[in-house]
Structure 1
Amino acid sequence: MTELDAITLRAAYDAQLRPDLPRPLPDGVAVESDGPLFRVLGLDQRGMVTYRDLDGVSGVDLDELIARQVAVFRERGEPVEWKLHGHDEPADLPQRLGAAGFVPEDQETVVVGPVAPVASGLPVVPEGVRLREVTTRPDLDLIAELKTQVWGRDLSELADGLEREIAAGPQSITVVVAEADATMVSAGWVRYPVDSTFATLWGGSTLPRWRRRGIYRALVAYRARLAGQRGRTFLQVDASDESRPVLGRLGLVPVTTTTPYVYTP
């Protein structure tokens, strides 16, 4: 990919995937607008602040906009994530978020690439491992346990969020797991945003002793095939440092970064 290609892909990402609002809305989730941004309430473990851009808001006006989000979520007693992208403006937005009490978590790289080359590869897994699509609550609970074990923090509420999302729009998400005998060793899901040429990949967590065996790569290929079957032409992933090299070898290129800034009442 050339630099121009990356710029073009980022423009498509901004136009089609931001402000990243859940559609259809899961039960119990609400969206409110405030100037150029949107508040998503009641989503999984914490709310979310999202936008396509801040429409030139800066300085004191930006501080007031940030303060209003803090006030809303403080009153709700609900943590909130402000998803900051590396190309967001103004340049001092991270400092202003920090001054308002938002704390940055680990940065990830937004990678984008065409579906077809990834979908053309067979999802090859080690002997004794199988891939399976899941929708039932027991499987979703196992995914939450897997994620909790991998990331070292309680992610049990993930099962509730996935269950509500599947119930609201079963055609908008597919959850896939990798199993060795009766043990779930990896899991990820693919979303099909409305009015978009993109499919987006999420999850992709693998138990440490099962890594470097091609399972994550197989999960990506399997989900890419699902995206291709639905006519999607591009894949997008918020990639960790561990998954980015694998995705790069599959043809996905970095277009920006994303950092969760979290305010906890």
Structure 2
Amino acid sequence: MSDERARLLAAYDEQLRTHAEAQGAQAMDRLGPLWLVKNAGGRGFITYRDLGGADAEEVRKLVAAALAHYRADPSITMIEWKTRGHDHAPGLHEALLEHDFTPEEPESIMIGEAAALAVEVPLPDGVTLRRVEDDEGLLRFCEVEAAVFEIDTAPMLQILRSRLPDDDLLEIWIAEADGVAVSGGRLELVRDTEFAGIWGGATLPGWRGRGIYRALTAARARSAVRLGRTLINSDSTEDSRPILERYGFVKVSTTTPYSQTLRPRPE
């Protein structure tokens, strides 16, 4: 591992795990090394800095206990267990599958200097960027996310509606053409750290390859720099990873979310 990658990975582990991932949570409980987070929209989230040297049998017990914790809360409809490729977690994959978690696609954990990404990127004619500050903009952002990722964005909309009015750590940006949102993404500042995260970057298929995602990413990075952040992190798909690499970002590890639906979401 290069010195730069080791430095960035250490910063990630020290600053961006556990409490940093519980920003905006409704509640948080501890179970040994685990942080059991309850978010708006009936979503549970399990994270940790490390598993405390647990062996495979101890890991299996942690998975069972975490699942029981969320099953006991009737307001929780789905849960996500966030894994990282560099963790020492013997038997975790097998234990999660045994307890009916489903792995999603792995993503690259990318980290780089915010200033390197905070550049000016020209937009195609007729395309504009704006920061979302109203419900109409939230709806447009979620429509793009739903179309690109083929997901139900109702829980996301509920969470963003609860956070956006008063949360100075969250920014949502969209790109529009002729009054229609064609791309979008979030900026999440992490309190008391060097970091801001760029999340949810999505561009409609017919608008890709025109520099819109790069411009949207650069706008979020410029905002992060203005607000005093020096590092940007992102869990990137294979579409966005090469773009960040061109700006000097480093792949420090991988992350794979494992999810499980516990019960139908209330209408």
TM-score by length of structure 2 reads: 0.92
Give distance in 2, aligned partners of 1:104 and 1:84. 10
Higher mean displacement: 136-145 or 198-207: 136-145
Provide the rounded CA distance (Å) in 1 between the counterparts of 2:121 and 2:22. 28
Question: Which residue number in structure 2 is paired with residue 86 of structure 1?
Answer: 85
Matches within 5 A, 1:1-265: 3-19=2-18, 20-23=20-23, 25=24, 29-44=26-41, 46-76=43-73, 78-119=77-118, 121-169=119-167, 171-265=168-262
Separation in structure 1 between the aligned mates of residue 158 and residue 73 of structure 2, nearest angstrom: 19
- Provide the C-alpha distance between the structure 2 equivalents of 1:63 and 1:34, rounded to a whole number of angstroms: 13
Q: What are the superposed Cα offsets for residues 184-240 of structure 1, whole Å, 9 maximum, x if unpaired?
A: 000111111011001100111111000010000001111110111111111100000
Q: Shift of residue 8 of structure 1?
A: 1.2
Letter in 1 for 2:259: V
Q: What one-letter code is carried by the residue in structure 2 that aligns with 1:155? A: T
Percent of residue pairs identical:
38
Q: Distance in 2 between matches of 1:192 and 1:230?
A: 9
- 1:237–1:45 Cα change, 3 Å: farther
Q: Is the Cα contact below 8 Å between 1:177 and 1:186 reproduced in 2? A: yes
Structure 1 gap ranges (5+): none
Shift, 1:45, TM fit:
5.8
Q: CA shift at 1:74, angstroms?
A: 2.4
Q: Contact 2:59/2:91 (CA < 8 Å) preserved in 1?
A: no
Contact 1:188–1:203 (CA under 8 A) maintained in structure 2: yes
Q: Post-superposition shift, 1:168?
A: 4.3
Unaligned runs of 5+ in 2: 263-267
Mapped partners of 2:48, 2:253: distance in 1? 15
RMSD across aligned C-alpha pairs, in angstroms?
1.5
Bigger mean CA offset, 199-208 vs 43-52: 43-52
Q: Supply the AA of the counterpart residue of 2:194.
A: T
Matched residues, number? 259
**Alpha-carbon distance in structure 2 between the residues aligned to 1:184 and 1:177:** 6
- Distance in 2 separating the partners of 1:76 and 1:63: 21
Checking the alignment, whether the CA contact within 8 Å between 1:112 and 1:237 is kept in structure 2 is: yes
1:65-116: CA deviations, max 9, x gaps? Answer: 1101111222335211000000111242212221222110111000000111
Whole-angstrom distance in 2 between the partners of 1:190 and 1:42: 18
Measured after TM superposition, the shift of residue 55 of structure 1 is 1.3
Structure 1 CA distance for aligned equivalents of residues 204 and 223 of structure 2:
24
User: How many Å apart are 1:59 and its aligned residue?
Assistant: 2.8
